[in-house]
Structure 1
Amino acid sequence: MHSVLSLNSSAGPDLPPHHSSNLLFHLILACLSSRANTYHLVALCIAYSLHLPLLVFVLYLGLKHRRGQKSSHSDVFTYHSIAMQLTEFLGLVMLCCGRYTDNLLVMYSGMLIGMVTLPGKALFHLLTCVERYLAVVHPIAYLGLRQAGRARIAYISIACVWLLSLVCVPVTFHIEYLAINIVAFIYLGFYLIIISYCSVSVLCVLKRPGPGGVGGNRDQSKQRAFYTIVVIMGVLMLRFGGNLIYNVIYVLHGAGDQCVLLTFMFWLDMPSNLVLPLLFLHRAGKLKFRKSG
């Protein structure tokens, strides 16, 4: 198999100029010139493909809910998050195909498509957390908004996420990798603060006893919701906290072995990809756990 880097001379005018080894595109090319990292890429494609049945099932249920007008705004965020994941999978497949056919244009196109999802998936997690916070901690103000008003805000937010994601793609590919990591450090810190605050606030409300000490099924439902939020918060903290640590290491200590860190980041993101689809299935009553004992 020829080295991918050997194809730079035939890349064509549409590819970014090779004037800096810090450009993300050339960093990924350098990583994929290693056979071990190429195998990691294939393993990522296989792992992502295992998610496809779950994602398709959620979209199928979502289509049925839309016909019955049963979708909440959290559900709509989930549908768009899944669209982001499918876009990311398409980019990974194109990157993998381009690597094995030594076609730089296909690889570059795959990276462009995959990069759309970097800010978008995180923002949909953020929007879901904020909506949950408003619904649980400020229910009167949340319900005081008309359904049409909440829907308008939700769809404007979704449009802004997609627009921001598309705008970030050319910027990400044409600035130095150090600058990317500094910007990522700032927005990941922002994500962690907002998600932590919203999740902890919801957990505090769920821990309070109901009016008059109401028990029974309602208390069990609150307890299940409490544990669900704890798990979601843990997975998101693992994802964003791990990415934040990666950016801190790069900014403070320089490049090091970037290929290992990049691969680690991709695998670290994978559990968080399942959060919104599984939460959707849980709300739809498709995930039922029998109580032991």
Structure 2
Amino acid sequence: MNNSTVNFTTSETSNSTTSYTILIDSLNIFMYCIGFIFGFPTHSYVLWLIVTGSSGVAASFFNINLAFCEIGICLNCLVYAISYCFFSFSNVKQFFVGLTITGRPLFQCLICVERYLAVVHPVTFLKYKPLRYRVICCAPAWIIILGSCLICMYTLNEKGRYLYTWFFSTQFLIFLSIQLFCLVAVLRALKQSGPGERKKEENHMKRRAFHLILITTASMAIIYGPFTIIGFVTIVVNELIDPLWFAGFTCYVLAGFVHPFLYLLSTGKISCLSLPKYVC
């Protein structure tokens, strides 16, 4: 093979790689923009509805923290989109990845555990129902999220990629396991008959809690299931497969709208469909 053939082949391969990289980057920017443009106003509106609602701040305190976390994730999507043009934002975007991999699933788990206690251990739930106990739970939760943000900032690079992949994949498995435990426990409690005249009322409460946990668990499975599988595949093959990561990221962005959409349906803010009020 002469030199001219080698140069032509190298040039063609380089152009193909460049085009492939530009395509993946463009698709990522598009999904980041979708996450910010639709997510930021939606989660802000949900937060406003919760704060100004009649149920009170104490009853929805975990939802308020989750909404704040979701708004931070949406802002991070904007930072990620901008960082493709301005590389100075790299440390900022890496720091707030902790909200993505720890903040959202952690507060979703707290919501499910709260519903689990309300159904399976009502006496314990009533004992720890006041707002101060929810604040006590959220304080270490935010400390954990801050620690996750710091870990992401120092491991989300070429050298720490292996550690970061193990970190978020293990987290997703733990959070999803907690969700499944709450789901199964509430389902078992739902099958048990309530005493006397309160049977219908208790079954309604159990069904409401079960539906909430089921929806949250299903959305978490869609959001984090692909990322978990892709993470372990990346660890095994020791190679980043960009199309797989983009597919997981697409599931993450789109499934992230499930919870606020159902909340808006349950509060009657979206009147085109009807849905029982078991999400709020």
Q: What TM bracket, shorter-length normalisation?
A: 0.7 to 0.9
**Pair 201,143 (structure 1): closer, same or farther in 2 beyond 3 Å:** same
Give a deviation string over 1:24-53, Cα, whole Å, max 9, x none. xxxxxx999822112212321332112233
Q: Which residue, out of 36, 40, 60, partners 1:52?
A: 40
| CA drift at 1:201 | 0.7
Residue 160 of structure 2 aligns with which residue?
176
**Pair 285,216 (structure 1): closer, same or farther in 2 beyond 3 Å:** farther
Correspondences of 1:187-198 after superposition (within 5 Å) = 187-198=171-182
Could you tell me which runs of 5 or more consecutive residues in structure 1 were left unpaired when the two chains were aligned: 1-29
- The question of whether the paired residues in 2 share the 8 Å contact of 1:185 and 1:244 is answered with yes
Residue 96 of structure 2: SS of its match in structure 1? helix
So what's the TM-score if we normalise by structure 2?
Answer: 0.76
Residue 223 of structure 2 aligns with which residue?
239
Q: Which residue, out of 144, 167, 177, partners 2:150?
A: 167
**Pair 223,89 (structure 1): closer, same or farther in 2 beyond 3 Å:** closer
User: Which amino acid letter does the alignment assign opposite residue 93 of structure 2?
Assistant: G
C-alpha distance in structure 2 between counterparts of 1:196 and 1:274, whole Å: 21
Correspondences of 1:140-151 after superposition (within 5 Å) = 140-145=123-128, 147-151=130-134
Correspondences of 1:1-293 after superposition (within 5 Å) = 34-48=21-35, 49-65=37-53, 70-73=56-59, 75-99=60-84, 101=85, 103-145=86-128, 147-173=130-156, 175-212=159-196, 219=203, 222-223=206-207, 225-257=209-241, 259-278=242-261, 280-281=263-264, 284=267, 286=269, 289=274
| CA drift at 1:142 | 1.6
**Pair 281,42 (structure 1): closer, same or farther in 2 beyond 3 Å:** same
| CA drift at 1:249 | 0.9
- The question of whether the paired residues in 2 share the 8 Å contact of 1:62 and 1:79 is answered with yes
- The question of whether the paired residues in 2 share the 8 Å contact of 1:238 and 1:268 is answered with yes
Give a deviation string over 1:186-221, Cα, whole Å, max 9, x none. 222211221110111112212323323767676566
| CA drift at 1:275 | 4.5
So what's the TM-score if we normalise by structure 1?
Answer: 0.73
- The question of whether the paired residues in 2 share the 8 Å contact of 1:78 and 1:280 is answered with no
Residue 71 of structure 1: SS of its match in structure 2? coil
C-alpha distance in structure 2 between counterparts of 1:157 and 1:286, whole Å: 33
- The question of whether the paired residues in 1 share the 8 Å contact of 2:98 and 2:146 is answered with no
| CA drift at 1:255 | 0.8
Residue 34 of structure 1: SS of its match in structure 2? helix
- The question of whether the paired residues in 2 share the 8 Å contact of 1:191 and 1:240 is answered with no
Aligned pairs, how many?
256
Residue 5 of structure 2 aligns with which residue?
none
**Pair 69,226 (structure 1): closer, same or farther in 2 beyond 3 Å:** closer
Residue 245 of structure 2: SS of its match in structure 1? helix
Q: Structure 1 vs Structure 2: percent identity of aligned residues?
A: 21
**Pair 70,270 (structure 1): closer, same or farther in 2 beyond 3 Å:** same
Give a deviation string over 1:110-152, Cα, whole Å, max 9, x none. 3433444322112111211211211211111121236155234
C-alpha distance in structure 2 between counterparts of 1:110 and 1:172, whole Å: 13
CA RMSD of aligned residues (A): 3.3
Residue 125 of structure 1: SS of its match in structure 2? helix
- The question of whether the paired residues in 1 share the 8 Å contact of 2:79 and 2:93 is answered with yes
C-alpha distance in structure 2 between counterparts of 1:91 and 1:229, whole Å: 27
**Pair 131,194 (structure 1): closer, same or farther in 2 beyond 3 Å:** same
C-alpha distance in structure 1 between counterparts of 2:261 and 2:253, whole Å: 13
